[in-house]
Amino acid sequence: MEQKKIKAALLGLGTVGGGVYKLIQRRKDEMEQIIGTQLEIVKIMVHNLDKKREGIALSLLTDNWQEIIEDEEIEIIIEVIGGIEPAKTMILEALHAGKHVVTANKDLIAQQGRELLNAAEESGADFLFEASVAGGIPIIRPLKQCLAANELTDVVGIVNGTTNYILTKMFEENVSFESALVKAKELGYAEADPTADIEGLDAGRKVAIMASIAFHTRVVFEDVHTEGITKITEKDVAYAKDLDCVIKLLGVAHDTKEGIEVGVYPMILKKEHPLASVRDSFNAVFVHGDAVDDAMFYGRGAGEFPTASAVVGDVIDVARDIQYECTGRISCTCYKDTPIKKFEEVKNKFFLRMQVKNQPGVLACIAQIFGNHKVSIVRVVQKYVEETQAELVIVTDKVKEGYMKNALKELEDLEDIYEVSSVIRAYL
Amino acid sequence: MEQKKIKAALLGLGTVGGGVYKLIQRRKDEMEQIIGTQLEIVKIMVHNLDKKREGIALSLLTDNWQEIIEDEEIEIIIEVIGGIEPAKTMILEALHAGKHVVTANKDLIAQQGRELLNAAEESGADFLFEASVAGGIPIIRPLKQCLAANELTDVVGIVNGTTNYILTKMFEENVSFESALVKAKELGYAEADPTADIEGLDAGRKVAIMASIAFHTRVVFEDVHTEGITKITEKDVAYAKDLDCVIKLLGVAHDTKEGIEVGVYPMILKKEHPLASVRDSFNAVFVHGDAVDDAMFYGRGAGEFPTASAVVGDVIDVARDIQYECTGRISCTCYKDTPIKKFEEVKNKFFLRMQVKNQPGVLACIAQIFGNHKVSIVRVVQKYVEETQAELVIVTDKVKEGYMKNALKELEDLEDIYEVSSVIRAYL
């Protein structure tokens, strides 16, 4: 075991990069105890050299990638720039050069994971990305190692803090989606352009990564059907409460006999489910395996230090592997090639809220259409009735998405139905 | 990297041992994919060779330890006998012989962890014990690796399924401790002699192990103050509900400026706390670190396959280390020697329920005594009043255990107080 100092370079000095640098500084002595040698950030790559950065020695900064990639003493590259390029090129160059890479880049892993992991495997390098899913929550390592003896069949997670904060506000303070979003922006939970969060794209990337690891089959972002929470109304919230349920934006991945199902959509779920009590901007990932049964991992899915916690945890592991000369020890675990199910084939339960003509025979007509499309109704609630109009809520049994789509299309053409106001999937 | 088959021996074929054997058989092909070579159980040590065991080849069984320890081809020993001896001697002999050990033995780790980890370190062997705490829930590896960048200050867990089942029944079905215990025995959640569970001893061992890892200081079972749940009554449950709380048996470990606090006792905690929604026989461990903030790990804390999931996960990791020639990679992480705080110095909030004389001045008298002993009262509820007797509930602020003990002693000597019916700590 060599006792030489291990040198690392940090790519990016935004929120997460700053957190990583500070955390490594703060835990210097402890890390030496854990790893058995010192770990030092010797270069930080930034876009703008002139920007003032408190507590960072100017000599560390560079805007020249060559300075880093050509420095043979730098063994670990910590990529926290985010996005596809230039991160991808840099990571590939680093791996080809035999350097080890730790990244928090979910966009990249969810789209180009295979290429990156192959590059790592070819050069026997460590390539770790714990921070790419659910921020500080340990999930990649538990899936890859602790639960390795399991056939995992279900991974269901609240993996976007912004939308969970919004839904929590809507539930606990009876406010609309719009005003909850305003509040989320005020608190810095939502970005100026919140599309990636509220439309489920961010969650979709994380689900792709988790599904790949859990089911040993490469799942990419494009495989994930994504829907957001913008259509959830205060009335939906009220009905969910009546059903002793909450509404959560869930990233859902199931390994079924007919293939892998992956999606992100708001779902109604029972208050007793462990995911139901995950409040505010917290994240949680619920897992089911044939041996472990149900398990859940809960914590902060974003933020400077929670994300840095995961990044630096990975860095410590890489340093340990360097010390023990066993880098590449945990590599790609996608040794299967299970097909991804077409979304129309995925089965879900549904909560449907619709405005219908208040006259006899309407429900019979709706039931007839559902019957024709193989949709079983398990519950009907009619709560608000005006002279000419009634609001009907229908909860269905599991049915293929394709069938439901066709049934809804036919319903919408019906004269007696003014509007299908909400279509929310149910995890009951 | 060698491609030879890795041979393991299993010590013990009880519930967990049976699960481990079945799981390894079931996942044979997958494990080969993960590890890169085959893993095989070549010997199983049992107490009674004559007992019928379905699905196990007789040729695997032995009651002779020498056959295993002297077999140089056996590289991994899986110890699931439990208890101190003969497990300890066997593990030490195995480690000294350079074999790697995976164990689920909490009694042993909580009492003799240092000696065993030292032996592993001396011979450069892997010594893993994920299953010793909270069954199938990944907790040891997350604490040692994923959260290694954190200064962890709090580990609070529901780590005994029997007592959590009993408390859940008491809360949800308003039954007494006694009848919930009967139900737990019927379902096989409680043993014929349930002492270790209901008195908090089992939880105490797990807390000692978790505290050692989280705070990098060896904490042994004897350091843990343990109290059980036998004194919790239906009335306590009713009051807890009034306060929007639940009662849980918590294993509590805090790293404070004045030393480490470790204890197991029933605590009243707010319904919003993530641990409050952990129902039935499920376990969960809540962790706080300076970078990750709050995190929680939830799942099955016991049972044949959940425990086997953790054991076999460790076995896979050992096999991988053998393949990569990096055994001993994760060894003892107790590089500190933080003192353990005396229990009298530990500060807690309290919920006190007492029967007092129904006359003016009693509360003043109680408040006076509390004041003398530095106990601050934050809430007083008087709900049930009879002609001569009243029931008084007092919730206090944080106070040293020693002060509270003295205050209670003085209260009990008071003529106006008939009985202090409940003393429950509060995690509010």
Looking at the annotation, which residues of A are catalytic?
A: 206
Q: In terms of domains, do A230 and A271 share one? A: yes
Q: Per residue in B180-222, pLDDT tens? A: 999 999 999 999 999 999 999 999 999 999 999 999 999 999 9
Taking CA–CA distances from B34, the nearest residue in chain A reads: A333
In a domain, A256, yes or no: yes
Indicate if the pLDDT at residue B226 is higher than 90. Answer: yes
Other beta carbons less than 10 A from residue A167's beta carbon: 23
pLDDT digits (tens, 9 = 90+) for B118-138: 999 999 999 999 999 999 999
The phi and psi torsions of B8 (rounded to 5 degrees) equal -130, 155
In a domain, B334, yes or no: no
Identity of the residue numbered B161: G
Q: Which of B279, B298, B316 sits opposite A148 (nearest CB)?
A: B316
Q: Which DSSP string do the residues of B71-96 spell out, in sequence order? A: -TTEEEEEE---SSTTHHHHHHHHHH
Query: Are A170 and A56 found together in one domain?
Result: no
Max CA distance (Å), chain A: 83
User: Among A324, A328, A327, which Cα is nearest to A35's?
Assistant: A324
- Structural domain contains residue A107: yes
Residue A38 pLDDT > 80 = yes
DSSP single-letter state for residue B360? T
Residue of A nearest to B296 (CA): A298
- Considering the domain architecture, whether residues B114 and B129 belong to the same structural domain is answered as yes
Does residue A144 fall inside a structural domain?
no
Is B206 part of the annotated catalytic residue set?
yes
- Judgement on whether residues A308 and A296 belong to the same structural domain of the protein: no
Please check whether residue A143 is in contact with residue A129, taking contact to mean a CB–CB distance below 8 angstroms.
no
- Residue B368's domain spans which residues? 343-427
Number of domains in chain A: 3
Same domain, yes or no: B170 and B281 = yes
CATH code, domain with B21? 3.40.50.720
pLDDT band at A4 (very low <50, low <70, confident <90, very high): confident
Average pLDDT of chain A to the nearest whole number: 95
Whether the pLDDT of residue B318 is over 50: the answer is yes
| pLDDT at position B1 over 70 | no
- Asked if residue B146 belongs to a domain, the reply is no
Placement of tokens 């509360």 in the chain: B363
Would you call A145 and B141 a contact, using CB atoms and an 8 Å cutoff? yes
Furthest CA-CA distance within chain B: 83
ipTM: 0.95
Q: Which residue has the tokens 């060559």?
A: A66
Chain A contact for B334 (CB, 8 A cutoff) = no
Q: Is B228 annotated as a binding residue?
A: no
Let me know if residue A196 belongs to a domain.
Answer: yes
Model pLDDT, residue A3: 62
B298 reaches A (C-beta below 8 A): yes
**Residue where a domain terminates, one of A232, A266, A300:** A300
Contact A427, A261 (CB under 8 A): no
CB pairs under 8 A between A and B: 199
pLDDT value at position B118?
96
Is residue A383 scored above 90 in pLDDT? Answer: no
- Shared domain check, A221 and A202: yes
Please determine, for residue B385, whether its predicted confidence score (pLDDT) is greater than 90: no
Q: What residues in A contact B334, CB-CB < 8 Å? A: none
Residue of B nearest to A288 (CA): B299
A269, A300, A331 — which closes off a domain? A300
Same domain? For A317 and A291 the reply is: no
**B11 in the same domain as B123:** yes
In terms of domains, do A168 and A294 share one?
yes
Omega before B339 cis (within 30°)? no
CATH number of the CATH domain containing A181: 3.30.360.10
DSSP A143: I
> How far is the CA of A48 from the CAs of A8, A53, A103, A140, in angstroms?
20, 10, 21, 33
pLDDT of residue A2: 47
Determine the pLDDT at residue A54. Answer: 86
DSSP assignment of A34-50: HHSS-EEEEEEE-S-TT
Instruction: Give domain status of residue A332, yes or no.
Output: no
* pLDDT given at position B428: 81
Q: How far apart are CA A16 and CA A7, in angstroms?
A: 19
Q: Are residues A99 and A212 in the same domain?
A: no
Rounded average pLDDT over A42-66: 93
Strands B225-226 and B259-270: parallel
Query: Of B267, B300, B333, which residue constitutes the final position of a domain?
Result: B300
Residue B355 sits in a domain whose CATH number is: 3.30.70.260
Any CB–CB contact under 8 A between B70 and chain A? no
Q: Residue A98: how many CA atoms within 13 Å on its side-chain side?
A: 6
- Indicate if B295 and B310 belong to the same structural domain: no
Q: Indicate whether A335 belongs to any domain.
A: no
| A296 and A309 assigned to the same domain | no
Average pLDDT over residues B31-56: 92
SS3 content of chain B, % helix, strand, coil (to 5): 40, 30, 35
User: Over the stretch A338-363, which tens digit does the pLDDT of each residue have?
Assistant: 999 999 999 999 999 999 999 989 99
Q: How far is the C-alpha of A61 from the C-alpha of B226, rounded, in Å?
A: 53
Residues 132-171 on B with a CB inside 8 Å of A are 136-138, 141-142, 145-151
Residue recorded with tokens 């790419």: A132
Q: Is the CB of A334 inside 8 Å of chain B's CB atoms?
A: no
Answer whether A266 touches B (CB < 8 Å): no
Beta bridge partners, A368, equal: none
